Amino acid sequence: MTAPLDVLVVGAGPTGLALGAQLGAHGARFRIVDRCLDRVRESRALAVQPRTLEALAGFGITEELVARGNPTARLCLHLPRRVVRLPLFDIGCDDTPYPFLLFLSQAETERVLGAWLAARDVEVERGTELVRAEREGGLVVCRLRRDGAEETMRARYVVGCDGAHSTVRTQAGIGFEGYAYPQTFLLADLEVDGLEPGSAHTYLTGAGMLFFFPLGEPATWRMLAMRPPGTPVDAEVTTELLQGIVDHWTSDGLVLRDPVWATAFRLHNRGAARYRSGPFFLAGDAAHIHSPAGAQGMNTGIQDALNLGWKLAQVCHGRAPERLLATYESERAPVGRSVRGLTDRAFTVATGHHPLLRLARTRLAPHLAPLVLRSTVLRTRIFRTVSELGIHYRRSPLSLAGTRPPAHGPRAGDRLPDVPRGLQARTSAPGWHLLLTGPPHLWSDERLAPLLRGREDLVTVHRLAAESPWPDVAQGLVRPDGHLGHVARGAHLAGLRAYADQWLPV
């Protein structure tokens, strides 16, 4: 019998592809299968957040994503009697090289990730469905079906990146609790005459919200609206139906034409009871689904994958203890819960029929929007949250502050900011990165030798003399996913040694 595989990745949507890239970059032995014969051509998610762009930069694909997308700088909020232009991410995002919301079709994001894998001879095995997965003697025995034939294979770990109806989740016996929203939504990728190009547009009405997003490919605009009450639920989504909504909800004389794709769908808010059960892991939509408010879904899935991939690879190589894998759930499940809560609140305000919510949309919003615009504190908080730059793992067992953490600057568990500019690029190669600040003589090779011995292939050392993220003499150990594991002030290495012995044992 052939040796078991390290990891079977089930599903090649954005989450599975990102996991494949992270496993590949860290040298794991894995396969990635998807039951669909071809990748999805329509766009579902259409925006990539700054934190996702940062996280994908290590694969060298962010520049291509940015070149193919539209870094839209503002949102036009169409209120009953005026238009308020809200700058997007103009504040609170100065520590990233990507301070913008990138509008890009999900199909294009998947294509770029898929091309990265193909260039490294990783085949996405399409038309291959996981039909069964059972634990047996510390492994998972998986049955894969392709062209009517079945293959049995064994893997140490199986990751369900297989979407909302996850087979892996079912096979692992993990619940998926939550609720469906009562409204039906209409979505169309099409051309619109009369819209100011390049910006995102939101029409606030008593009946709900109507959105136009600058998509680019396969059509200029993505329209999203609630199905008007009274329309039959199974009515075809025609241009006439959509034009009727636009005429009823706006007075701008917009003309819709040339639809490329139109569909109706219902939204759910659900979360997996656990992200892990023994050798089974869940990531992306298999672990959490919610409304598209704030464009968080695909982004959260990709970041789940990037958190899990290096951990699996290092455990499989015997370079990290098995308990490292427990930190996946403790770090990512709170993020999933927070995104579900956030999107639920935004969605309820945007679509609710309660008279107070209608009042909020039509009467309060025109007064509140300028106040929000003026408040830098509020705007910073909103942008930090939506951009996902504010996600941290400060309470994770993997985040350890030294006895004297630096007075200012990023803390253990925070993402490494791009301060000074270029720091993220310098620390994006696979593996851990040790940042040492202060006079270089403090960090001689002799002093570091006991710490690095046996870890030379895992840790890259950077001596940051002039500019640094911390004002003091400090040490920061950056994880392979760009978050700080250990941060300490001063030149004593005992805390860092203890951390390395725990998580990077020799």
Ligand X SMILES: Cc1cc2nc3c(=O)[nH]c(=O)nc-3n(C[C@H](O)[C@H](O)[C@H](O)COP(=O)(O)OP(=O)(O)OC[C@H]3O[C@@H](n4cnc5c(N)ncnc54)[C@H](O)[C@@H]3O)c2cc1C
Among 95, 162, 329, 388, binds ligand X (CB under 6 A): 162
* Shortest Cβ 3–ligand X spacing (Å): 23
Q: Phi and psi at residue 286, in whole multiples of 5°?
A: -65, -25
Give the C-alpha separation, 297 to 275, whole Å: 16
311 interacts with ligand X by CB under 6 A: no
Q: Phi and psi at residue 296, in whole multiples of 5°?
A: -110, -25
* Alpha-helical regions (H) of 106-252: 106-119, 167-172, 239-249
Q: In one letter, which amino acid is 75?
A: L
473 interacts with ligand X by CB under 6 A: no
10 interacts with ligand X by CB under 6 A: yes
The contacts of residue 168 (CB under 8 Å, 6+ apart) are 10, 130, 133, 158, 159, 160, 162, 280, 282, 286
Residues 164-183 that bind ligand X (CB under 6 A): 167
- Give the interface segment with ligand X, choosing from 34-42, 445-453, 473-481, 496-504 (CB under 6 A): 34-42
* Shortest Cβ 299–ligand X spacing (Å): 6
> Which DSSP letter does residue 355 get?
H
Among 16, 271, 402, 431, binds ligand X (CB under 6 A): 16
Residues 276-305 that bind ligand X (CB under 6 A): 284-285, 292, 295-299, 301
* Shortest Cβ 319–ligand X spacing (Å): 27
57 interacts with ligand X by CB under 6 A: no
Max intra-chain CA distance, the chain: 76
69 interacts with ligand X by CB under 6 A: no
Q: Report the 3 state secondary structure along 13-80.
A: CHHHHHHHHHHHHCCCCEEEEECCCCCCCCCCCCEECHHHHHHHHCCCCHHHHHHHCEEECEEEEECC
> Which DSSP letter does residue 286 get?
G
- Give the interface segment with ligand X, choosing from 157-165, 238-246, 252-260, 442-450 (CB under 6 A): 157-165
Among 6, 24, 28, 35, binds ligand X (CB under 6 A): 35
161 interacts with ligand X by CB under 6 A: yes
Q: Which is nearer to ligand X, 39 or 462 (CB)?
A: 39
> Which DSSP letter does residue 222 get?
E
36 interacts with ligand X by CB under 6 A: yes
108 interacts with ligand X by CB under 6 A: no
* Shortest Cβ 354–ligand X spacing (Å): 25
Residues 227-266 that bind ligand X (CB under 6 A): 265
413 interacts with ligand X by CB under 6 A: no
Residues 176-215 that bind ligand X (CB under 6 A): 187
* Shortest Cβ 439–ligand X spacing (Å): 45
Interaction mask 346-375, ligand X, x per CB under 6 A: ------------------------------
Rounded to the nearest 10°, the torsion over CA 491, 493, 495, 501 is 160
**Interior CA angle at 327 toward 4 and 383, to 5°?**
120
Contact between residue 216 and residue 66 where contact means Cβ atoms under 8 Å apart: no
- Using CB under 6 A, list all residues that contact ligand X: 10-16, 33-36, 44-47, 106, 129-130, 161-163, 167, 187, 265, 284-285, 292, 295-299, 301
